[in-house]
Amino acid sequence: MEIINWLNANDGAIIGIATLVLVSITICYTYKDTANRKYERSFSLDFAEGVGFSQVGRPPLYDIVKVTKEIQKDLQRIATGSYKPMVLTEPLSEHRRGQFASSLEIRIEQFSSELQQEILREIDLIVSKREQETRDKEQNEKTTMDTNAS
């Protein structure tokens, strides 16, 4: 038997308590996209396959219930607004690159403005050097391909 608190998705308040045998659970959620179109999705977790099995040690349904409780806690935090999931609208590699750039910017801002300017000049010099190396490499590859084609 498992006690489940049913939550009101608007404010997270407990609106009822039920005692039941956990066999399956269906989670429904709705969301809107940037164009304000509403979507509804649902998924089911079916625990009926494990009911009535004998086992040695802790029952597998125990682990399933434990994970389900964690899902319930996460959903409650989202419903109450105490946790806001991060939704990426860019590739993960770009997001990580942006985070890294932001952390470097914060570190550089801790220095005096003269030192900041010096650091930025050095970075600009390094970037310019790499760009020139890339152009030279591309030119060499093109020249080699033209020579081989002749």
* DSSP notation for 40-88: EEEEEEE-GGGTT---SSS-HHHHHHHHHHHHHHHHHHHHHTS------
**Are the C-beta atoms of 5 and 12 separated by less than 8 Å?**
no
pTM score over 0.85:
no
Who contacts 14 (Cβ-Cβ below 8 Å, separation ≥6)?
5, 6, 7, 8
Q: What tens-digit pLDDT sequence spans the chain (150 residues)?
A: 344 444 444 554 544 444 445 567 777 777 788 888 888 888 777 766 655 555 556 666 777 778 888 888 888 887 777 777 677 788 889 999 999 999 999 999 999 999 999 999 999 999 999 999 999 999 998 888 877 776
Show the CA angle centred on residue 52, arms to residues 51 and 55, nearest 5°: 105
